[in-house]
Structure 1
Amino acid sequence: MTSPAVPYATLLAFARYVDRIGPAKATFVGGLRKQRESRSGFNPHGQLIKALKSDIAFHGGGRHLHAVVNEVKPRWKPLYEALLPGALTYLGTLPKDTDLAQTRDAIAMLGDLPVKINPHFGLRHADGQAEAVRLHMDEQPPSPETVMATLHLMGRHMDQVLPHATPTLVDLRRGIVHRPDPSVKTAQVEQWLAGEAAAFRATWSVAA
């Protein structure tokens, strides 16, 4: 297990970091470090993700998603109600013969910064095509930087995550699916991410 003192990021955290500018970057990294050292943090979306996966696996047509909105603790009910329409929209875009596929986590090294690549789930379509899916559940849509970083890092390690699959980022509140742009130059993205990772690591050390 990575020591809290060592610079480290999840794919979610790093994608959020590259979306920030100026002092907001340092504030964000400082908050991450404090959270890591206090071992705090809770994912309120867990039940919703499980319900979405159940609807995909059992072809439930949204039955599990509707049910979880009624079953979740009152504290999280407004959040789930806000996510439900987009989740149903996304579910409706999937062919009825789509099944879940097993994904594996991977560690991406950006210079000296480890970034954990952890899709929420995989999809396997009847024609044999596969997707590794990350869900974006923030109030604001993902920025172009967030989309690019997420899809690039997932694609970079797809041989470990889900071989021959396409990386996909789903803006769940709006039911919008983002896939790689073939016009994006991989070398330029790598150079950009390397610079972002170096700045992240330096800021982490300053926050110590």
Structure 2
Amino acid sequence: MRPRKATTGRRTAASPRRDRPLDSLGLEPVPSSSSASRRSSRVSASLLLDDHPGFPAEEAASDFPSELQDGGRWPSPTEPRTFTHSVKQQCWEKAEKVKGRDPDRWRRDPLGNIVFRKLVGCPGCLCHDYDHILPYSKGGKSTLENCQVLQATVNRSKGNKTEVSKSDLIQKSAYCRVSGRDMDLIELSAYGNVRRASDSGGCNIQ
């Protein structure tokens, strides 16, 4: 019978499993509940915003929460909250033209504010939104009949209110004095050229 080897009294620990990544101390990192909740809130917010393409810009930030507070409705495939690209195109075309300027680039909103086609969803005085005349949260539909080009500052002050007079909205307008030369420079910056209306009789600056 062979003699047993003497043991040192220390037991060898089982080697830890390596299927999960370990930190510098050899421990498995534990995600904190706060960071996990932040991640989940970001995911849910992004899922909501994905349903509103291009609309940060427009009304989503201004009155989306109030829809639920005021008993509004959630968007659905049959009743979308945003206007389609086609409706926006037609909505722009039905807005008042600016005399002497290219109607594809310049229009006036119902309050007389001049707006520029390239500036949408921003707070500037030449910026516009595609506004629901009857707010979506009050039952308004995203149709051409319920769409108007409106200066963005006015649209945000209007929110989802229905009882707002035209004079009150005019007072909310962001006024800025824009000369023809200023408009030429804006067009040059945005499009690389200046185009006049066909009946303007002016020169084209290339």
**Which structure: larger Rg?**
2
Q: What is the TM-score normalised by the length of structure 2?
A: 0.29
Greater RCO (Cα-Cα under 8 Å, separation 6 or more): 1
Question: Which structure's residues are more often helix, by fraction?
Answer: 1
Question: Which structure's residues are more often strand, by fraction?
Answer: 1
